[in-house]
């Protein structure tokens, strides 16, 4: 049965010349798991919001949307609110209340359910998803993943038949993101809820989705089963969408010439099976490890550092030694609450350790030195827009140039904007830019003062695949020009491709420190999906798709 | 619901009248209670008016947000105890969103910030003082326009003192039994430096930030068509002075 | 209670009220907040008791002279009642804080002024988020040279407000998502809202309200006739109670201990059932 039917839907925002949606046709069957992807600004979020009538944006709309055979306008408001639920992108912005309980019942109260009905639904929900422990907490005390779960639950309490999700995992760490996706799969399989999810991190979603839809510039470009879509994109070598294909699928497609659609692997297990069926290859010389350069000058040095946030709280960093050498591209990884960010902030001088010494450029950090020698340091936070004071990017850069008395500022501003490919955003308000654009703009501003170290906190969070690739190439170039980089991240794939040195922080200490290849290849869980596929296969272990393409293919031919 | 609120208005007015009667006829000299009652009744009328107005969900969110910002504005100034940024936020809100929103944000910001700093007998006075501050900022724009920075500056300066004087009242009223003029003067003299600091910080904030804050809030207001009093002309004076 | 405390000034009345209020407070949170206030409270009371007789020289029973000024028993007594009075106010407000900051108060409030109550609740939820955001902004801005610790007063004030300004711009942009989230869950739809936490006034509550109001009237009436009060100036009145004093005292006792009775009833039932 068709539950949502979109016919020739076009939409134009006021004060915009382009169509946000341009003749979109989409049919969703009851119980389907549909993934919608595409670059930022392709219209996927607009489409999703138009499916939730109460929040549909104002603008010129033509075409029809119908729900179970009847157009939206003929349904009463209440039914649509109940039966079509929506979970938004940022967990912080959708929680209204202070108490978890109040937040959960918010929707039911608005719709005037009786207290008995509410209790019943709540009891059922809490029992099914075993969230008793969250019920009496304050919403501010929850982690990002728990917040997103809370939003999902409060939508579910209205017993929706369709669940819309707008990039629900983009603000979560990989573990919480996976949990949420597993939860969605369960809702879909066990309760038959139709799921329509807009996302840009698609690695795990291709495997779960019944259908994948790709959009670009307001139109649907691809629409079909996961494997069909991958196949089409790969065969056309569609550069717009290639980055969204899971690396495992891409690897097998690259290795095997014209495989059938069913042979495309979507997960590690299938990937391993696929790889085993391929002809063996001549053993090759392992790519030489990049040597860690111990002789280089150490510019940030932590010795015997202990840190705790409160007197009664446990030690976050304990007897930690760490050193960042000139020319490093250092990635610190670790689980949530492992102390990654604390380490970063200690290096930055924002947190003062209880014990131990922090030296930067060979000198001890003091309050004064943090506030006076800031131009050598650049810090890209998770919220890059917090950097901006002025209302256009251009003004911001001019202000910095003025403050630091930079010579030939106009030329430097221009070259930086060009380097980052954001010349067209020059007069834009930073808050009107997409996440990737703000990040680039903030980086451009920071580089005006020619810093020697760049600190980054989760630079890939919330970025779509294309922006991630752009960031990668920018960072590579900056690093090759001599910038030392320290980043804290969850993103294994990103680290494997770009860092020169990785470390794991665990139990308050740096536990493993090595070049990415050595660091990841031994790991069982904590490694890239390509690596997991190639472990114990007849092929040499590799980390990234790039590596596969560079080192294997030449040998395969031979 | 409308019915319930209508009766609420009646109750409020009745309480108000009863208080006055109690005071004048029965010679019941409890000034603290009386003043609290009067303040409560006045604020109640404002609140009820707001409840009965038709308003967009978005406007409720914005007001809640501005209340929260007014309440946390002190956080960055932990090292500068004499600075009072909350008043600046409230004045700006009144200027941009009008008298009623100014009153609401002022009054509720007092409750919310005291949730974290501690409620006390002073809470109603603080609500009233900040509420009327926000309201008068809205009225200022309505009657004088906000073209000149010096008008705003003197407005902020004066309010620094009025706020302090209003807050002194609770001490005076709660000690009405041994009221003397010396006592009154003593309280007002002792709060002088504190009030002066408040007034000066208002002036500093207004001269440094009123332009950019009004621009930010107006940009947002225009973008979403928010909380516009239809009686007021949009103020354009600030577009010239903004650099 | 506050009214009662202001109304009566007989030390025995005041001491009883204070004692009961402290018990009420302990029943709320085991006196955790009270203990924090205890030093302030005791210092303030002692100061008032000690200072009042030296400043005010009204009254006829002279105890001794201090620098030529008479120190009277009446002023001393007055100081004690003042101190008790202020202690009562403080304890009431500590209790008041606990009740007000618990969401229970807001639920009741939301029956009468739903919008205002919602706005307060939203703002309370936003405050910790805003504080965290201010920390993030502070870190980023400090590292680009906008310090709060270095520089002259004006620069620091400026840098501080810039942080709040960034917070404003940031949060306004996000307000639209908050709105959507509310609308998506039916806020602002036509029809009656309901409340998960039911606060109905049932028959028993009305009876209690009636009884309490009656007792209150009795107290006021008794107070108007001069019972429950002690004459301090110009000369200290007698301590003893007339029988009407006792009636007034009992009504006051019941009124003040009412919250204790409500809170305690459940606990006693628990204890008994185990």
Q: What is the mean pLDDT of residues A528-532?
A: 86
By CA distance, what is C129's nearest residue in B? B68
Q: What separation in angstroms does the CA of A62 have from each of A12, A17, A21, A76, A413?
A: 9, 16, 10, 20, 43
Q: Which residue of B has its CA nearest to C128?
A: B72
Please state whether A175 falls in left (phi above 0), alpha (psi between -120 and 50) or beta: alpha
Per-residue pLDDT at C199: 56
In chain C, residues 211-270 whose CB comes closer than 8 Å to chain A: none
Give phi and psi for A525, each to the nearest 5. Answer: -95, -45
Indicate the range of A211-225, B66-80, C105-119 predicted with least confidence: C105-119
Higher pLDDT, C87 or B176: C87
Between the alpha carbon of residue A459 and those of residues A357, A475, C171, the distances in Å are: 27, 11, 21
Range from A4-18, A148-162, A235-249, C60-74 carrying the lowest mean pLDDT: C60-74
Residues of C in contact with A114 (CB under 8 A): 194
Question: Residue C235: which pLDDT band, with cuts at 50, 70 and 90?
Answer: low
| Collapsed DSSP state (helix, strand, coil) of residue A71 | strand
For all residues of chain A together, what is the average pLDDT?
87
Domain segments of chain C as ranges? 2-101+203-273, 120-184
DSSP one-letter code for A513: E
From the candidates C160, C196, C199, which should be mutated to test the interface with A, based on the most A CB atoms within 10 A? C196
Q: How long a stretch of residues is chain B?
A: 243
Comparing CB atoms, the residue among C97, C149, C175 nearest residue B62 is C175
**How high is the pLDDT of residue B243?**
32
Angle in degrees, CA B119, B123, B129, rounded to 5: 150
DSSP state string for B115-175: HHH---THHHHHHHHHHHHHHHHHHHHHHH-S--HHHHHHHHHHHHHHHHHHHHHHHHHHT
Q: Which phi and psi (to 5°) does residue A285 adopt? A: -70, 130
pLDDT tens digits for A135-144? 888 898 888 8
**How far off is chain A from C114, nearest CA to CA, in Å?**
11
HSE, side-chain direction, 13 A CA sphere, residue A417: 19
* pLDDT tens-digit map of A340-378: 889 999 988 888 888 888 888 877 877 666 666 677 889
Residue C141 touches chain A, beta carbons under 8 Å? yes
Q: Which residues of C touch B178 (CB under 8 A)?
A: 56
Angstrom distance (rounded) from CA C170 to CA C166: 6
Tens-place pLDDT, residues A185-211: 999 999 999 999 999 888 889 999 999
CB atoms within 10 A of CB B36: 20
Mark yes or no for CB contact A111/C189 under 8 Å. yes
| Cβ atoms B95, C186 nearer than 8 A | no
pLDDT of B162 > 80? The answer is yes
Cβ contact (<8 Å) for C125 and A93?
no
Chain B residues touching residue C161 (CB < 8 angstroms): 76, 85, 88, 205, 208-209
Write down the residue that tokens 């536990």 correspond to.
Answer: A511
**Average pLDDT of span C97-120:** 75
User: Residue A85: beta bridge partners?
Assistant: A163
- Report the distance separating Cα C28 and Cα B170, nearest Å: 27
**What pLDDT score was predicted for residue C135?**
92
Test C171 with B201 for CB contact under 8 angstroms. Answer: no
Say if residue A276's pLDDT is above 60: yes
pLDDT higher than threshold 60 for residue B204? yes
At A148, the pLDDT band (50, 70, 90 cuts) reads very high
Considering only residues 51 to 110 of chain C, which have any Cβ-Cβ distance to chain A shorter than 8 Å?
Answer: 103
Angle between helices A465-480 and A409-420 (to 10 degrees): 130
The residue among A388, A366, A444 whose CA lies nearest residue A412 is: A444
pLDDT exceeds 80 at position A118: yes
Of C103, C136, C162, the CB nearest to A383: C136
Look at C3 and B33 and tell me if their CB atoms are within 8 Å.
yes
Q: Please state the domain extents for chain B.
A: 1-54, 55-241
Sequence-ordered list of residues with C-beta below 8 angstroms from that of A91, at least 6 positions apart, any chain: A144, A147, A148, A150, A151, A171, A172
pLDDT at A260 over 90: no
Minimal Cβ distance to B47: which of C113, C156, C159: C113
**Residue C266: per-residue pLDDT:** 61
Q: State whether residue B40 is helix, strand or coil.
A: helix
Task: Report the neighbours of C using a cutoff of 3 or more CB pairs below 8 angstroms.
Answer: A, B
Whether C200 has its CB under 8 Å from any CB of chain A: the answer is no
Distance in Å, alpha carbon of C93 to nearest chain B alpha carbon: 6
Look-up of token digits 């010439």: A257
Max CA separation in chain B (angstroms)? 61
Query: Which residues are paired to C64 by β-bridges?
Result: C71
Which pLDDT belongs to residue B11? 66
- Distance, in Å, from the CA atom of A172 to the CA atom of A149, rounded to the nearest integer, reads 11
Average pLDDT score over residue span A238-250: 89
Angle of helix B57-72 versus helix B85-97 axis, rounded to 10: 160
Picking from C247, C185, C256, C253, the residue whose alpha carbon sits closest to that of residue C221 is: C247
Handedness of CA B53, B58, B62, B67 (dihedral sign): positive
Architecture category of domain A2-94+157-244 in CATH: 3-Layer(aba) Sandwich (3.40)
Query: Is the model more confident about B29 or about A396?
Result: A396
Q: How far apart are CA A548 and CA C57, in angstroms?
A: 97
Mean of the per-residue pLDDT values for chain B?
A: 80
Q: What is the pLDDT of residue A282?
A: 58
Residue A254's beta-bridge partner residues? none
> Per 3-state DSSP, what percentage of chain C is helix, strand, and coil (rounded to 5)?
75, 5, 25
- Classify residue A198 by burial, with Cβ atoms within 10 Å: 0-12, 13-18, 19+: buried
Q: Which helix (H) or strand (E) element contains residue A457?
A: strand A453-457
The total of other beta-carbon atoms located within 10 Å of residue C158's CB is 16
Model confidence at B231: pLDDT above 50: no
* Residue C264 confidence (pLDDT) above 50: yes
Q: What percent of chain A has pLDDT over 90?
A: 33
Please give the DSSP secondary-structure letter assigned to residue A538.
S
Q: Count B/C contacts: CB-CB distance under 8 Å.
A: 154
Q: Which residue of C has its CA nearest to B80?
A: C157
User: Rounded to whole angstroms, how far apart are CA atoms C179 and A374?
Assistant: 39
What mean pLDDT comes out for the span A538-552?
A: 77
Measured torsion, CA atoms of residues A316, A322, A328, A334, in degrees rounded to the nearest 10: -30
- Per-residue pLDDT, B108: 94
Contact of C126 with chain B, judged by CB distance below 8 Å, is answered with yes
Q: Which two tokens stand for residue A436?
A: 């990737």
From B45-49, C33-37, C132-136, C158-162, the region with the lowest mean pLDDT: C33-37
Is the confidence at residue A411, as pLDDT, over 50? yes
**Chain B neighbors (3+ CB pairs < 8 Å):** C
Q: Where are the beta strands (DSSP E) in A262-416?
A: 298-307, 317-325, 329-333, 355-360, 363-364, 377-380
Contact partners for chain A, using 3 or more CB pairs closer than 8 A, are C
pLDDT exceeds cutoff 50 at B81 = yes
Split at pLDDT 50, 70, 90, the class of A558 is very low
Q: What is the mean pLDDT of residues A320-340?
A: 88
- Is the per-residue pLDDT at A334 higher than 60? yes
Q: What's residue A57's pLDDT?
A: 85
Under CATH, which architecture does the A298-527 domain have? 3-Layer(aba) Sandwich (3.40)
Asked whether the beta carbons of residue A110 and residue C189 sit closer than 8 angstroms, the reply is: yes
Smallest Cα–Cα separation from A537: which of A311, A249, A280? Answer: A280
Give the residue, B107 or B41, on which the prediction is more confident. B107
Distance between start and end Cα atoms, chain B? 48
> CA A154 → CA A82, A143, B66, C86, distances in Å?
11, 16, 26, 46
CATH class of B55-241: mainly alpha
Instruction: Kindly report the pTM of this predicted structure.
Output: 0.84
Beta bridge partners of A195: A33, A163
Which of A93, A109, A154 is opposite residue C194, by nearest beta carbon?
A: A109
Contact B115 C156 (CB under 8 A): no
A488, A457 contact by CB (below 8 A): yes
Q: Over 80: is that where the pLDDT of B121 sits?
A: no
Q: What span, in angstroms and rounded, lies between the C-alpha atoms of A359 and A300?
A: 6
Structural tokens at position A251: 């690897």
Judge whether residue A182 has pLDDT over 80.
yes
pLDDT at res. A5 = 93
Structure-token pair, residue B139: 């009225």
Query: Closest residue of A to C192, CA-based?
Result: A112
* Banded model confidence at residue B119, pLDDT cuts 50, 70, 90: confident
Contact of C153 with chain B, judged by CB distance below 8 Å, is answered with yes
Interface residue C100 vs chain B (CB under 8 A): yes
Our CA-based measurement puts residue C170 at a distance from the nearest CA of chain B, in whole angstroms, of: 11
> Searching chain B, which residue's CA lies closest to the CA of residue C163?
B76
> Residue B212, class by beta-carbon neighbours within 10 Å (0-12 exposed, 13-18 middle, 19+ buried)?
buried
Give the mutation candidate from C8, C56, C123 for the B interface (greatest B CB count, under 10 A).
C123
Query: What residues of chain A lie within 8 A of the CB of C140, using their CB?
Result: 379, 381, 383, 386-387
Residue B235 has pLDDT above 60, yes or no: no
Q: 3-state class of C241 per DSSP?
A: coil
The answer to whether C143 contacts chain A (CB < 8 Å) is: yes
Per-residue pLDDT at B234 exceeds 50: no
Q: Cβ separation of B69 and C118 shorter than 8 Å?
A: no
**Does the distance separating the beta carbons of C93 and B119 come in below 8 Å?**
yes
- Name the residue of chain A whose CA is nearest to C199's CA: A115
Assess contact for C248 and C220: CB atoms under 8 A: no
Of C112, C131, C182, the CB nearest to B57: C182
Q: How close C227 gets to chain A, by Cα (Å)? A: 47
Say yes or no: do domains A2-94+157-244 and A298-527 share a fold.
yes
Q: With contacts defined as CB-CB under 8 Å, which chain C residues touch B224?
A: 176
pLDDT digit string, tens, across residues A55-98? 888 888 999 899 998 898 899 888 999 999 999 988 888 999 88
C272 touches chain A (CB under 8 A): no
The predicted model gives A239-243 an average pLDDT of 88
Has residue C198 got a pLDDT over 70?
no
What are the chain A neighbours of C136 within 8 Å (beta carbons)? 381-383, 386
CA-CA distance, A489 to C273, in Å (whole number)? 55
Of C119, C138, C160, the CB nearest to B64: C119
Strand partners, A198: A36, A166
Q: Which two tokens stand for residue A274?
A: 């696929």
What interface predicted TM-score (ipTM) does this complex get?
0.88
pLDDT class of A149 with cuts at 50, 70, 90: very high
Work out the average pLDDT over C2-17: 69
User: Which residues does chain A have within 8 Å of residue C177's beta carbon, measured at their own beta carbons?
Assistant: 88-90, 93-94
Question: Looking at beta carbons, which residues of chain C come within 8 Å of A154?
Answer: 185
């Amino acid at each position: 049965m068709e539950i949502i039917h979109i016919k020739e839907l076009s939409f134009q925002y006021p004060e915009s010349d382009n169509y946000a949606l341009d003749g979109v046709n989409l049919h969703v069957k009851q119980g389907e798991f549909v993934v919608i992807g595409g670059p930022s600004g392709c219209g996927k979020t607009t489409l999703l919001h138009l499916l939730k009538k109460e929040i549909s944006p104002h603008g010129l709309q033509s075409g029809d949307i119908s729900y179970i055979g009847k157009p939206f306008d003929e349904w009463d408001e209440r039914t649509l609110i109940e039966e079509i639920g929506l979970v938004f992108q940022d967990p912080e912005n959708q929680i209204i209340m202070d108490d978890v309980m109040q937040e959960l019942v918010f929707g039911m109260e608005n719709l005037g359910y009786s207290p008995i009905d509410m209790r019943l639904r709540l009891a059922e929900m809490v029992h099914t998803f075993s969230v008793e422990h969250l019920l009496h907490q304050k919403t501010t005390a929850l982690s990002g993943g728990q917040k997103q779960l809370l939003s999902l639950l409060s939508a579910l309490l209205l017993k929706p038949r369709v669940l819309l999700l707008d990039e629900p995992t983009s603000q979560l760490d990989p573990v919480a993101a996976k949990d949420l996706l597993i939860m969605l799969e369960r809702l879909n399989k066990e309760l038959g809820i139709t799921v329509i999810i807009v996302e840009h991190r698609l690695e795990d979603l291709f495997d779960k989705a019944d259908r994948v839809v790709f959009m670009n510039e307001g139109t649907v470009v691809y629409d079909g089963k996961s494997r069909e879509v991958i196949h089409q994109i790969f065969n056309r070598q569609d550069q717009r969408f290639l980055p969204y294909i899971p690396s495992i699928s891409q690897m097998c497609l690259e290795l095997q010439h014209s495989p059938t659609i069913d042979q495309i692997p979507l997960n590690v297990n299938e990937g391993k099976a696929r790889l085993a069926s391929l002809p063996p290859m001549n053993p090759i010389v392992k790519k030489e490890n990049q040597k860690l350069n111990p002789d280089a000058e150490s510019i940030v040095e932590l010795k015997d550092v202990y840190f705790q946030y409160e007197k009664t709280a446990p030690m976050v960093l304990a007897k930690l030694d760490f050193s960042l050498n000139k020319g490093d591209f250092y990635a610190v990884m670790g689980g949530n609450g492992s102390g990654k960010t604390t380490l970063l902030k200690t290096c930055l001088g924002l947190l003062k350790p209880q014990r131990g010494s922090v030296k930067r450029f060979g000198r001890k950090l003091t309050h004064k030195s943090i506030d006076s020698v800031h131009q050598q340091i650049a810090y890209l936070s998770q919220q890059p827009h917090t950097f901006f004071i002025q209302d256009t990017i251009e003004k911001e850069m001019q202000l910095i140039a003025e403050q630091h008395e930079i010579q030939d500022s106009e030329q430097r501003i221009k070259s930086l904007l060009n380097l980052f490919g954001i010349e067209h955003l020059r007069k834009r308000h930073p808050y009107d830019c997409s996440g990737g654009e703000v990040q680039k703009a903030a980086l451009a501003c920071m580089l005006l003062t020619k810093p020697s170290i760049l600190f980054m906190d989760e630079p890939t969070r919330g970025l779509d695949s294309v922006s991630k690739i752009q960031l990668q190439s920018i960072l590579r170039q900056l690093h090759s020009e001599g910038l030392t980089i320290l980043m804290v991240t969850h993103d294994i794939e990103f680290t494997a491709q770009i860092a020169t040195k990785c470390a794991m922080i665990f139990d308050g200490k740096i536990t493993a420190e090595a070049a990415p290849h050595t660091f990841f290849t031994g790991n069982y869980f904590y490694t890239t999906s390509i690596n997991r596929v190639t472990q114990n296969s007849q092929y040499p272990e590799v980390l990234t798709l790039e590596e596969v393409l560079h080192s294997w293919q030449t040998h395969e031919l031979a | 619901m409308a019915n319930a609120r209508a009766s609420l208005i009646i109750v409020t007015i009745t309480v108000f009248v009863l208080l006055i009667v109690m005071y004048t006829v029965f010679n019941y000299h409890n000034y603290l209670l009386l003043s609290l009652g009067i303040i409560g009744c006045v604020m109640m009328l404002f609140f009820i008016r707001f409840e009965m107005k038709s308003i967009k969900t978005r406007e409720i969110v914005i007001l809640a947000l501005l209340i929260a910002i007014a309440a946390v504005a002190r956080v960055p100034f932990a090292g500068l105890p004499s600075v009072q940024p909350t008043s600046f936020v409230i004045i700006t809100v009144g200027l941009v969103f009008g008298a009623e929103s100014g009153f609401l944000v002022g009054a509720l910001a007092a409750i919310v910030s005291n949730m974290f700093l501690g409620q006390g007998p002073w809470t109603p006075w603080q609500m009233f003082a900040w509420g009327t501050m926000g309201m008068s900022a809205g009225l200022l724009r309505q009657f004088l326009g906000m073209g000149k920075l010096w008008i705003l500056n003197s407005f902020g300066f004066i309010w620094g003192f009025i706020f302090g004087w209003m807050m002194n009242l609770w001490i005076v009223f709660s000690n009405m039994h041994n009221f003397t003029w010396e006592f009154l003067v003593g309280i007002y003299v002792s709060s002088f430096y504190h009030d002066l600091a408040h007034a000066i910080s208002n002036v500093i904030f207004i001269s440094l930030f009123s332009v950019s804050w009004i621009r930010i809030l107006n940009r947002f207001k225009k973008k979403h068509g928010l909380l516009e009093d239809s009686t007021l002309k949009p103020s354009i004076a600030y577009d010239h002075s903004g650099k | 209670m506050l009214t009662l405390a202001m109304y009566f000034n007989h030390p025995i009345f005041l001491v009883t009220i204070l004692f009961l209020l402290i018990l009420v407070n302990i029943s709320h949170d085991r006196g955790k907040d009270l203990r924090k206030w205890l030093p302030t409270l005791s210092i303030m009371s002692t100061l008032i008791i000690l200072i009042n007789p030296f400043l005010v020289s009204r009254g006829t029973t002279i105890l001794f002279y201090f620098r030529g000024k008479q120190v009277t028993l009446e002023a001393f007594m007055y100081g004690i009642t003042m101190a008790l009075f202020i202690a009562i106010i403080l304890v009431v407000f500590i209790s008041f804080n606990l009740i007000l900051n618990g969401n229970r108060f807001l639920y009741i409030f939301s029956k009468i002024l739903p919008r205002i109550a919602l706005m307060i609740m939203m703002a309370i939820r936003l405050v910790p988020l805003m504080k965290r955001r201010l920390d993030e902004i502070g870190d980023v801005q400090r590292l680009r040279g906008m310090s709060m610790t270095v520089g002259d007063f004006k620069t620091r004030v400026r840098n501080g407000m810039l942080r709040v300004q960034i917070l404003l711009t940031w949060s306004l942009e996000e307000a639209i998502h908050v709105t959507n989230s509310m609308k998506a869950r039916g806020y602002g739809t036509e029809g009656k809202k309901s409340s998960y936490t039911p606060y109905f006034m049932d028959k028993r509550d009305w009876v209690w309200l009636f009884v309490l109001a009656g007792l209150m009237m009795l107290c006021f009436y008794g107070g108007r006739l001069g019972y429950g009060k002690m004459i301090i100036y110009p000369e200290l009145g007698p301590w003893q109670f007339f029988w009407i004093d006792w009636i007034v005292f009992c009504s006051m006792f019941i009124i003040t201990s009412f919250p204790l009775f409500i809170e305690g009833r459940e606990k006693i039932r628990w204890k008994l059932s185990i």
